[in-house]
Amino acid sequence: MKKWLFVFLACVLSTFLFASDDVSDALDIQASKDHVIDQRENYFLTSTDYRITPKVNPITGEYCEDEVDLVVVGSEPLSVRRFYNHFAPYEPRYASWRYNPESFLVANFEWGAQEIFAAIGDADGSVYSLKRSQTEAYTFNFEIPKSYSAFSASGQTHPLNTKIQYWKRGDPDDKHRFQYMGMITDGSGRERSFISPMHRWTHYVHYTEKRGGFFGGSERVYRIKANTWTPYQVELEEERLPNGNIISYSYTRWKKEKRNYPRPVLLESITAYNADKSKVLGYLNFNYSRFHGEEV
């Protein structure tokens, strides 16, 4: 009897010593609650209704404001513009203003636990939603909002001519890790290309926190779920205009990347080139004050 009891205890002990994360979480419910991070941090990166008129939208009641802070004249003029919409979630990076929204792309392309959508901005301050196409794979088309009937647009600017097509480049060392790449096209002939960081966009990641003093300590491993970074900002790299000129965008970090997942970024520069990028036609740089060299 004692021999069988000893074998049973040994088996139980080995189970605890060599259990995977899934098994240990299932055995210790409180530990799984403490170790799993799934709070949605990027809630403010959501779409807003299409902006119909300046100031007050007579249908939805939303108040809009726009300002032009700087214009750089030249063969391809550049400008710093900001827009405010009181219906939009609070924007902690720019104090609820949105700068040069034509560089704005936010999406949840594939993760099924949240709404799958894409939201893109335009030079007039509008931000509108696109939904996954029912007929084309890896494609998003414009979603008509309720207030859309009051909007008047030409064939070139009509958002129904706007389309997002994307693909994925995988990490050969991690089947869950990849980056999104793609193109935004519209009826004007303009093309905007985008690329995301390499990340486990639809899976979880681990974050290790070390505790203790010089002579000893411990490590705690957190499992961070996709809900934390979804929806995510996808960086627009270039915008090829109908006249052939190219507008390039670069970005800088908003907060320190310390939890093994990307955070939304800040617009750092806008540069205009000719068609083959052999000549700079103009540029703008944004400078941000940082606290302790880290957060803006």
Dihedral angle sign, alpha carbons of residues 222, 223, 228, 229: positive
pLDDT value at residue 240: 96
3-state secondary structure of 159: helix
Q: From edge to edge, which strands make up the β-sheet containing 218-224?
A: 36-37, 218-224, 205-211
Do 104 and 91 touch, CB atoms closer than 8 A? no
Parallel, antiparallel, or unpaired: how do β-strands 163-171 and 174-185 relate?
antiparallel
pLDDT value at residue 267: 93
Residue ranges of the chain with per-residue pLDDT less than 70: 1-35, 37-39, 43-44, 46-54, 60, 89-90, 144-159, 213-216, 257-259, 292-296
Residues paired with residue 247 on neighbouring β-strands, in sequence order: 239, 272
pLDDT value at residue 20: 38
What's the whole-model pTM score? Answer: 0.76
pLDDT value at residue 12: 41
CA 94 to CA 45: how far, in whole Å?
Answer: 12
List all residues 6 or more positions away from 149 whose beta carbon is below 8 Å from its beta carbon. Answer: none
Q: Which helix (H) or strand (E) holds 237?
A: strand 235-240
pLDDT digits (tens, 9 = 90+) for 163-174: 999 999 999 999
pLDDT value at residue 222: 87
CA 183 to CA 185: how far, in whole Å?
Answer: 6
Closest-CA residue to 190 (of 229, 236, 230): 236
Token look-up 């097509």 returns 165
CA 157 to CA 119: how far, in whole Å?
Answer: 16
List all residues 6 or more positions away from 134 whose beta carbon is below 8 Å from its beta carbon. Answer: none
What are residue 30's phi and psi, to 5 degrees? -65, -40
DSSP string, 94-109: TTTEEE-GGG-EEEE-
Measured in whole angstroms, the distance separating CA 288 from the mean position of its chain's CA atoms is: 20
Do 106 and 127 touch, CB atoms closer than 8 A? no
List all residues 6 or more positions away from 192 whose beta carbon is below 8 Å from its beta carbon. Answer: 102, 105, 183, 184, 185, 236, 238, 239, 240
Using alpha carbons, list the distances in angstroms from residue 236 to 261, 265, 269.
19, 11, 12
pLDDT value at residue 290: 75
pLDDT value at residue 54: 56
Alpha helices in the chain (DSSP H): 2-18, 21-27, 29-35
What are residue 121's phi and psi, to 5 degrees? -100, 165
Do 140 and 128 touch, CB atoms closer than 8 A? no
